[in-house]
Chain A
Amino acid sequence: MSSQSAQQTVTSNASLDTEIDAELNGAQQLVKALENQGVEYIFGYPGGAIMPVYDALYDSSLKHILCRHEQGCALAADAYARVSGDVGVCMATSGPGATNLVTGIANAYMDSIPMLAITGQVPTSVMGTDAFQEVDIFSMTLAIVKHSYIVRHTDDIPAIVAEAIELAKSGRPGPVLIDLPKDIASGNVQGKRFIPAVEPSNIPTTSSDEKAALELIRNAKKPLLYIGGGAVMAGVEKELRELAERTGIPAVSTLKGLGVLTKDSEHYLGMLGMHGNQAANKAVQTSDLLISIGVRFDDRATGKLDEFAPNARILHVEVDAAEIAKLRAVDVALHGDLNEQLKVFSDLEPQAIAAWQFDCQAMKKEFAWRYDYPGKDIYAPWVLNRLTEKFSDDLTVTCDVGQHQMWVAQHCDFVNPTQHVTSGGLGTMGYGLPAGIGAQFAKPDSPVVVVSGDGSIMMNIQELATLKRYDLPVKILLFDNSALGLVRQWQDLFFEGRQSEVDLSDNPDFVKVAQAFGVTAKRITHAEEIEEGLDFLMNTKEACLLHVIIDKQSNVWPLVPQGKSNSTMLDNGYE
């Protein structure tokens, strides 16, 4: 994805300059600047060092969402950004408030999500003295932000806010941190900014390799579209659907590319990678050209890198120059905004690849997901398949991390990539529930379902209180196998069945827990109750939780063992 590849300038950036109102203190300037930038929601939690900002919020039109843990704030802001397309804003006080944001900031960084994180800081007079609730959050987050600021002068605040939001959403999006000392927030504005401006540069939109790219495709016998999250960030779903349809080139997608092509697309083979569809992986391994669009060759997608797509040449279409040839050498690269780069293919004719299409179709048929589970227990993949069948196409599904996350990716049928909100890069357990909150604020009139597991839900279960506080009709589909299922599965497969610290059979009664928060809840335990349970989710108007008991030994198949080639997929069917 992008690069603001290149040149930053130290000169003042006129487009980001903002007027300074000397009547306002720093905190009021911050709030005004956020309002001026069109920010609607702040997911935050107050505390000592950030109190001047909360005082300013008292008179503001900004809508502050009080989560019950700062991590919940950051993850909700992340999901809000993914679903709304706007920058997600989260805020916390200094010290533990700031450190509690860190996981959410890293989550946004790994998935290239535009986020603004605002932290209070102790007054400048005591910075560096190990003062109460002082941590150097600036240094702690250097490796997980796109950029960050310590505000040294009250005067800088309006320009920094404008610049931070622009940086967060430009090029390859990412999180930006503003650390605001308390005395700066309380101080009055006196003059102009002191710091040099950072100006996002233009991304090149042309490439000299267009001819070579087209030649590669035309000469390929087994070309394959390999679509990643970059395509989603660039919003080129329509272009890619049209390209796949027109050329007849088969396609696979990454976890974050799900929904760009739908399962109804004739030549779409599904998700590749560790828990991908076998047809998708086999197609990649036999392809002679990977047309890689907005991907970063993540290890969960490629398996053993040296053996990934061994026969394929690589055409990489990518907005971030730093991703091109980072892990896999490329034959031709088209660097730039995907909206522009994909125009290179606008005249590409239908490809004469009938034999390859036939092979892909045969694999697609052979490895299609099956739902003829023989037992009376609840088969989670079937529940998820039915979920997207029953709900309308404006459903948003937010996931936690674990077996259920992979089942969602495999079995939910998304017709739009923003329907699927998942922690792809960082794999943050506890993401699902706060993400559901963020998603519901982004799309208040559409259904939001959180798919979680009994391990993940406990990591941010306090956010049930946030659902109740804001009367959010978020629906929670909670799969419970009384275990950390994916870890248990790996221990069974690769650690000789030595199940170490994965048993969660002492879980609380989740129905009672939900009810204690004022959330309607229901439990199902047998396959015959699935439809009734999903109807409960659909028809309950307020926040609700469906507790779904599944077999403790349920596994996710297929599976590529870590560090192995995608050619070595394990699949034990319903075992």
Chain B
Amino acid sequence: MDTNKKMPNTDTNQLYTKKISIDINANDGAILRVLGLIERRGHRVITMHSYMPTNTSFKLEVEIELGTPRQDVLLHQIKRLGDVVDAKDLTGEELAAVLQATVKRYSRHDMIPTD
């Protein structure tokens, strides 16, 4: 299901974001590889947080701006990476049901200085 179409980001004062949770093997460059893919595929990273639940793994939580590229495709692309154990977000009916809880609203002016 294309969740982007349900939440058009047409209000320039609003920033719609969504979180993805990613489990990664703690190998060289693993976090860079994931973040690089997300940005290269056209998604804007708003915040990120990572920690090591074990000595051999990372938990990476990335908040991305909802935009044109499809998030369901992005998840598959992330899962293709060799270091990634799992990646998930809230999509489809699940997202619709908890929309208010999972979508944050920022004032764009709070994040981007105006000229």
Contacts and interface: CB of A to CB of B under 8 A. Distances in A.
Which size bracket describes the interface of B in this complex? 20 to 34
Contact of B25 (A8, A146, A150, A322): A8
Interface residues of A, number: 30
Given A321-B76, A322-B76, A139 B82 contact: no
Contacts of B33: 142
Contacts of A7: 85-86
B73 A9 contact: no
Interface residues of chain A: helix, strand, loop or mixed (majority): loop
B28 A8 contact: no
A134 interface: no
Contacts of B40: 143
Contacts of A148: 29
Contact of A167 (B82, B84, B85): B82
Interface residues of chain B: helix, strand, loop or mixed (majority): mixed
A325 B73 contact: yes
Contacts, number: 75
A433 to B, nearest CB: 31
Most buried by B among A10, A149, A195: A10
Contact of A3 (B26, B29, B80, B85): B80
A10 B85 CA distance: 8
B8 to A, nearest CB: 17
Interface string B61-102: 000000000101100110111111110000000000000000
A10 B25 contact: yes
16 contacts: A4-B82, A6-B86, A10-B54, A10-B56, A138-B28, A139-B29, A142-B32, A143-B37, A149-B28, A150-B28, A152-B28, A198-B27, A321-B76, A325-B2, A325-B70, A326-B73
Given A6-B79, A10-B56, A322-B73, 12 more contacts: A3-B80, A5-B80, A10-B57, A10-B85, A139-B32, A142-B33, A146-B80, A196-B56, A198-B25, A198-B83, A322-B80, A326-B73
Minimum-distance CB pairs A-B, first 3:
A147-B82, A322-B76, A321-B76
Interface of B: 2, 25-29, 32-33, 36-37, 40, 54, 56-57, 70, 72-73, 76-77, 79-86
